[in-house]
Amino acid sequence: MSEADKVFKKSYKCPICDSNFKSLTVKQGKARMIDTDIDLKVNYRDIEPLKYDIILCPVCGYAALERYFDRVSAFQRKNIIDKICQSFRYVFEDKDEFDYDDAITRYKFAFLTSQVKMSKHSEFGFLCLKMGWLYRSYANSLDEKMQKKKAELKEQEKNYLNNAFNYFETARAKEQSPICGMDELTFDTLLASLCVELQKKEEAKKYMSIILSNRNATKRVKDKIFDLKELLDSENGEDEE
């Protein structure tokens, strides 16, 4: 089954310009999970669902993750019309599936929307996290011969994940739980996992102890933290050699 068989054109109504349009979306239950990376990125067989996460209005250029697509105040809407829609000129090819470059362009439109919307730190963080993961998948999809391109993509991944971590730390201090739809424990587990991925050892330890002292932490969550700890310690060992 190809990626095109796992997506369909879903109808949306733009909250900015009121246009009706269709956007490729992953069919429910069609993406089969393979495994999960250290920082909780889930990998699927024959498809990268992250490529389809941005809904982009082809008429006015407004773009957002589905979770935030309809959340626009009157003030934000006016700003978006003035600063994005008026100058938006982009012709989209009608496609049956997106490649990584299509997806990156869509995320860039979503970042632009978020800047104009003056979105919360959590929304920027979530975009950065997904963009970082998208670059990882892109790099992994390339042939070993394309070392230079792979290295460039890995560098982008690292930058976006670092930005995600910084936005999330601020969101954690300033915003109310749930953040990005995650309860406190899930969000802290994501932060701890990101720290391990990014080799931020001090911060990783801080979040691990916060989680382990949380009375709501289940055995499953604690086991995950012990796995992360082991990973962090083994990497510490490598550094000292």
Q: Give me the residues that bind Zn ion (CB under 5 A), please.
A: 14, 16-17, 19, 57, 59-60, 62
| Contact present, 139 and 168 (Cβ < 8 Å) | no
Distance of closest approach, residue 61 Cβ to Zn ion, in angstroms: 7
For the bound state, the minimum distance from the C-beta of residue 222 to Zn ion, rounded and expressed in Å, comes to 46
In the bound state with Zn ion, the residue whose beta carbon lies nearer, of 50 and 57, is 57
Q: Which is nearer to Zn ion, 9 or 27 (CB)?
A: 9
User: Shortest Cβ distance from residue 71 to Zn ion (Å)?
Assistant: 15
28: left (phi over 0), alpha (psi -120 to 50) or beta: beta
- Rounded (10°) angle between helices 219-240 and 184-197: 20
**Helix, strand, or coil (residue 43):** strand
Nearer to Zn ion, 38 or 81 (CB): 81
Residue placing its CB nearer to Zn ion in the complex, 17 or 185:
17
* Closest alpha carbon to 194 in 95, 98, 110, 125: 125
Instruction: Please tell me the distance from the alpha carbon of residue 172 to that of residue 29, in angstroms, as a whole number.
Output: 32
Q: How far is the CB of 70 from Zn ion (least distance, A)?
A: 12
CB of 110 to Zn ion, least distance (A): 13
Min dist. Cβ of residue 49 to Zn ion (A): 23
Nearer residue to Zn ion within complex by CB, 52 or 62: 62
Residue among 45 and 67 whose Cβ is closer to Zn ion: 67
4-10 long-range contacts (CB < 8 A, ≥24 apart) are 4/96, 4/97, 5/30, 6/30, 6/31, 6/46, 6/47, 7/47, 7/52, 7/96, 7/97
Q: How far apart are CA 174 and CA 110, in angstroms?
A: 23
